């Protein structure tokens, strides 16, 4: 399982509170005192990695809350309705009903498909068809478990099995 972060992304509640690891990382940062050039280089690399992690978390939060604003949705639905009414005005009584239904049906189908695609892009974290799943996160956890030696597996972890800090 990828943990609580993924569950919260699916629920749309990821950005509602502070990062639970921020305090732990800050405490670690305060205790560090690199003195040798090697330690300073490692410390600098650690800060870069931490910054990249925080940026990635912010990107995930932004993607989880939906990026298409409500006014745009209103305009899209209004435009869709206008196109449908426009198609009704061009209905020709001389044509068979099947022909008219096919013309209107294809236009409506394209508009509905585009609106559904936008809805998917606005909310990509879900369990149904096409939803993003945490396969890469879970694969990384398996690789980490495989790389750990038996001694390292017995070490005290900084989090529980769900990813919450202890």
CA–CA gap between residue 162 and residue 24 (Å, rounded):
17
Q: Is the dihedral angle over the CA atoms 142, 27, 156, 148 positive or is it negative?
A: positive
In a domain, 164, yes or no: no
Predicted pLDDT at 11: 67
Of the two residues 143 and 163, the one the predictor is more confident about is 143
Predicted pLDDT at 92: 81
Query: Largest Cα–Cα distance in the chain?
Result: 89
What integer is the mean pLDDT of 8-28?
A: 67
Contact (Cβ atoms closer than 8 angstroms) between residue 32 and residue 43: yes
Residue 30: domain span = 4-66+126-153
Predicted pLDDT at 25: 75
- Residues 11, 87, single domain; the answer is no
pLDDT confidence of 14, banded at 50, 70, 90? low
- pLDDT digits over 38-73, tens only? 988 988 898 898 888 878 877 766 666 667 888 998
Give the count of domains, the chain: 2
C-beta neighbour count of 14 within 10 angstroms: 22
- Quote the radius of gyration of the chain (alpha carbons, Å): 26
Residue 16 in this model has a pLDDT that exceeds 60: no
- Residues 56, 11, single domain; the answer is yes
Rounded to two decimals, what is the model's pTM?
Answer: 0.52
Contact (Cβ atoms closer than 8 angstroms) between residue 10 and residue 127: yes
What integer is the mean pLDDT of 141-148?
A: 79
- Residues 99, 118, single domain; the answer is yes
pLDDT confidence of 13, banded at 50, 70, 90? low
Record the tokens describing residue 24, joined without a space: 């732990």
Predicted pLDDT at 36: 92
- Residues 85, 50, single domain; the answer is no
Q: 128 vs 55, 123, 125, 156, CA distance in Å?
A: 28, 11, 9, 37
Phi first, then psi: what are they for 159, rounded to 5°?
-145, 165
- Residues 118, 136, single domain; the answer is no
C-beta neighbour count of 118 within 10 angstroms: 14
In a domain, 159, yes or no: no
pLDDT confidence of 15, banded at 50, 70, 90? low
- Residues 8, 84, single domain; the answer is no
């Amino acid at each position: 399982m990828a943990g609580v972060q993924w569950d919260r992304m699916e629920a749309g509640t990821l950005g509602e509170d502070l990062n639970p690891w921020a305090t732990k990382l800050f405490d670690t940062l305060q205790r560090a005192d690199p003195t040798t050039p090697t330690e300073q280089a490692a410390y600098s690399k650690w800060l870069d990695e931490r910054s990249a992690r925080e940026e990635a978390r912010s990107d995930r939060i932004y993607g989880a809350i939906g990026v298409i604003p409500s006014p745009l949705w209103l305009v899209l639905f209004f435009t869709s309705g206008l196109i449908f009414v426009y198609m009704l005005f061009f209905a020709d009584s001389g044509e068979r009903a099947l022909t008219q239904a096919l013309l209107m049906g294809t236009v409506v189908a394209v508009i509905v498909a585009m609106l559904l695609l936008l809805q998917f892009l606005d909310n990509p974290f879900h369990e149904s068809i096409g939803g993003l799943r945490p396969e890469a996160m879970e694969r990384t956890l398996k690789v980490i478990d495989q790389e750990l030696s038996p001694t390292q597996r017995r070490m005290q972890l900084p989090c529980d099995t769900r990813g919450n800090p202890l």
